Amino acid sequence: MNESYDHINGTYYGEANDPLDFSYVDELESNGYNCDQCTHCGTHLKHGSVYRHTSGELVVIGPTCVDRLQFDSCDEIQALHIANRLRLARLRSLMKRSWRWKIVGDFLMENEDKNHIIGDMLNKLNKYLRISRKQISFARKLVRDEAGRESRKAEREAKLVNTPDWQDGRFEIEGEVLSCKWKDSDFGGGYKLLIELEDSRRCWGSAPQKWIDAGEPKTIRIKAGFTPSRDDKKFAFYKRPTFIA
């Protein structure tokens, strides 16, 4: 390969390497792949791009498959990398001129990946060299909310370690209604509930009409037929619910 893309050691989006580092060649070959062949279609390559797959493996993708799979090409990633460097240079220039904007800029850059709105604010700061106090306050609220969600998620995952799996059968459960959403179907659709039990297991199914008539209380007790999810034994689907309270 006389051109390749290193998606691993780039400063931000990565930098082009020519030739490819031998450690990557060894890793590719140890996984049964060839640097001269597209991992996706097997076509012999004169040049291509190296990506780290979500499975953790390195793969080689040719230019045709890059377009077909709608991957970012080496040139596109390099262009984004250059644009990002220019953006950062402009932001750093602003932050040097004002301690206030340095605090704001550092905060937005540290949390840019937590919410796309924060990324938009950072782009506006870069473009207009200022954002409002309300926007700054909102950004801080978004970060606090995200931290709260992460904390609750960690607590739930820790709790689920000692929680029994769902079992097939019809029985009674009580829990908190996390969401109620309309779901279309061939039969006209209906409201579906996501319920979380005290032990953090969750289930999903139809909302009983009597629960709706009762004013949609936050807690619910039903008797229904439950089927565990094939992908997550702490999650189940229920049907034919009978509203109890």
Q: What is the pLDDT of residue 15?
A: 45
Average pLDDT for 36-62: 78
Q: In b/e form, how buried is each residue of 152-171, taking b as 16+ CB within 10 angstroms?
A: eeeeeeeebeeeeebeeeee
Q: What is the pLDDT of residue 59?
A: 81
- For 57, phi then psi, to 5°, come to -85, 150
Q: What is the pLDDT of residue 33?
A: 78
**Predicted model pTM:** 0.52
pLDDT above 70 (res 222): yes
Which ranges constitute the DSSP H helices of 31-132? 63-68, 74-97, 99-110, 116-128
The rounded distance, in Å, linking the Cα atoms of 13 and 18 is 16
The rounded distance, in Å, linking the Cα atoms of 142 and 115 is 7
Q: Crossing angle, helix 99-110 and helix 116-128, to 10 degrees?
A: 150
Q: Quick one: fold of 169-243?
A: OB fold (Dihydrolipoamide Acetyltransferase, E2P) (2.40.50)
Q: What percent of the chain has a predicted confidence (pLDDT) above 70? A: 87
pLDDT above 50 (res 9): no
pLDDT above 90 (res 57): no
Q: Higher confidence at residue 106 or residue 19?
A: 106
Please, what is the average pLDDT of the chain? Answer: 81
Please write the tens of the pLDDT for every residue from 113-172. 888 898 888 888 888 878 899 998 999 999 999 889 889 889 888 889 889 999 999 999
Please write the tens of the pLDDT for every residue from 83-106. 777 777 777 777 777 777 788 888
Q: Higher confidence at residue 153 or residue 29?
A: 153
What tokens were used for 57?
Answer: 């493996």
Q: DSSP of 171-235, one letter per residue?
A: EEEEEEEEEEEEE--TT--EEEEEEEETTS-EEEEEPPHHHHHTT--SEEEEEEEEEE-SS-TTE
- SS3 state at 32: coil
Q: What is the pLDDT of residue 177?
A: 94
Q: What is the pLDDT of residue 12?
A: 35
